Structure 1
Amino acid sequence: MNEILWLQFAHIVAFVYWLGGDLGTFVASRYVVNRDIGVEARAIALKIMLACDQGPKMSMPLILPLGMHMSVSMGLVQIPTWALLVVWLLAAVWLGNVLVLYFNEGKAFTARLSQFDLYFRIAVVIALTVFAVMGLLDQAPIFADWVAWKILVFAALVCCGIAIRINLKPFVPAFVKLMSEGPSELVNNTMADSVARCRPWVWIIWLGLFVNAAFGVHLIG
């Protein structure tokens, strides 16, 4: 019982940092693209935005093994111990990659790590979707449909993160240009459009987190 309580506690903490960090990132992004404030203030806002974004980026790989471990301990999912260890190992690799990218931002070697991170997330989405759908079809050892739905929602949230990354691609070179050449209509519009395209995906992430929280406390499912 103590193990389950500690897993639940860690799972809740990860949820809080994911949702809270996302909110901080969202608010800071509005100042980054605010053309009415100075370049230095926008640079500081970007630093705040990136720091806040580490909450969700670290919570995402942690929530997965915590939730899986808790489900196995509660008898809701049945997988061998070695498979659970593999889940934790992959989550550690994912989390380690996130931290290396953050603390080495701008260095040449991070380009390959960033590409690896993208492909890793795509693989996670595919694996979790297949596992959850098989569970709903009684072809995988998931003994509660709400757990399968939580896994599907989590996979969708990872997809939203990928979509945000894709839509932020024009933002980075535009911000570099802002820092080196100063503001211009083109730079301001590019940054604002890029961030605006990300907002719907952020809202979907928030909705997904609320839905999974509702599954977790059995409000639904």
Structure 2
Amino acid sequence: MSVYAYPSLVFVHLLLFVLWLGADVGVFVLGQHFRKRQSYTLDQRLALLKLLVEVDMVPRTAWALMVPVSLSVVAMGGFWAVPQWLLVLAWAVGAFWIWLVWDAHLHDQTPRAARDRRIEFVLKIGLTLFYLGLGGLSLAGQGPLLDVWLAAKALLFGVIFAAAIMIDVAFKPVGPLLVRLIREGSSDATEVPLLRTMNRTRIWVWTVYALLLATAYIGSVKPF
């Protein structure tokens, strides 16, 4: 194996983190401007929303790739003798997840996209349980991760999954509310419920940001 293989994989891991968090901040900023009904026309705000959806594909793709890449880093770094079948499965899951994300994006507002998102939702629940179990059992001394910092990082990654799932749950009412806004125009009756829903979603967005930073800090500093 090349001496550059492991550090290159670590670089890819860090790059995915940067793309995930950085692009997600861009999504957040665009969302903030969409909320400014006094500063933009409705058409301008809808254009911002379309751009938001496009930018959002970057963190969604990075998130999916983070699953196989993180396990590969753990295996190549000698932190855990990850079974070969699990590595293969991780890359297959990552590839399938990316396909679901992009297929839903390219066929948005269709039954096919709705089906893709239902499957993705179940997939994310499964991955949440996997990382929570991996991290929790390892911290309790019953899992394969012997380093406390790595076990804590795996546990936090599972919590990130859970918080990100809650973003999707909290954001779900936005679709019908947005349709109503487009049909009826901007008014307190159409804007206030939409704003209230987006505000609830932001709580989980900030939670994901905090958890991502905490996970990156633990992985870089290894404080315990």
Which TM-score applies when normalising by structure 1? Answer: 0.95
| Superposition map of 1:143-162 within 5 A | 143-162=146-165
* Residues 137-188 of structure 1: CA deviation (Å, up to 9, x unaligned): 2222212111111111111111111111111122111111222221121210
CA contact (8 A) 2:184 2:190 kept: no
Aligned with residue 170 of structure 1, among 173, 176, 195:
173
1:72: Cα distance to partner?
Answer: 0.8
Number of equivalenced pairs: 221
CA RMSD of aligned residues (A): 1.3
Identical positions, percent: 26
Separation in 2, partners of 1:6, 1:103: 31
* Residues 26-55 of structure 1: CA deviation (Å, up to 9, x unaligned): 111112222212111111110121122112
Secondary structure of the corresponding residue to residue 79 of structure 1: coil
Aligned with residue 14 of structure 1, among 2, 16, 31:
16
1:92 is matched with 95
1:189 is matched with 192
2:86 is matched with 83
Secondary structure of the corresponding residue to residue 52 of structure 2: helix
| Superposition map of 1:20-39 within 5 A | 20-36=22-38, 37-39=40-42
Separation in 2, partners of 1:23, 1:57: 13
1:219: Cα distance to partner?
Answer: 5.1
Separation in 1, partners of 2:98, 2:148: 28
Separation in 2, partners of 1:103, 1:177: 23
| Superposition map of 1:125-144 within 5 A | 125-144=128-147
CA contact (8 A) 1:33 1:191 kept: no
1:203: Cα distance to partner?
Answer: 1.2
Secondary structure of the corresponding residue to residue 138 of structure 1: coil
CA contact (8 A) 2:101 2:116 kept: no
* Residues 73-112 of structure 1: CA deviation (Å, up to 9, x unaligned): 1111122112111111111111111111111111221111
Which TM-score applies when normalising by structure 2? Answer: 0.94
1:44 is matched with 47
| Residue identity in the other structure for 1:16 | V
Secondary structure of the corresponding residue to residue 111 of structure 2: coil
1:200: Cα distance to partner?
Answer: 1.6
Unaligned runs of 5+ in 1: none
CA contact (8 A) 1:167 1:197 kept: yes
CA contact (8 A) 2:27 2:56 kept: yes
Q: Are the structure 2 counterparts of residues 219 and 78 from structure 1 closer, same or farther at C-alpha, using a change threshold of 3 Å?
A: closer
Secondary structure of the corresponding residue to residue 81 of structure 2: coil
Secondary structure of the corresponding residue to residue 141 of structure 2: coil
CA contact (8 A) 1:170 1:190 kept: no
| Residue identity in the other structure for 2:72 | H
- Deviation beyond 4 Å, 4+ runs, structure 1: none
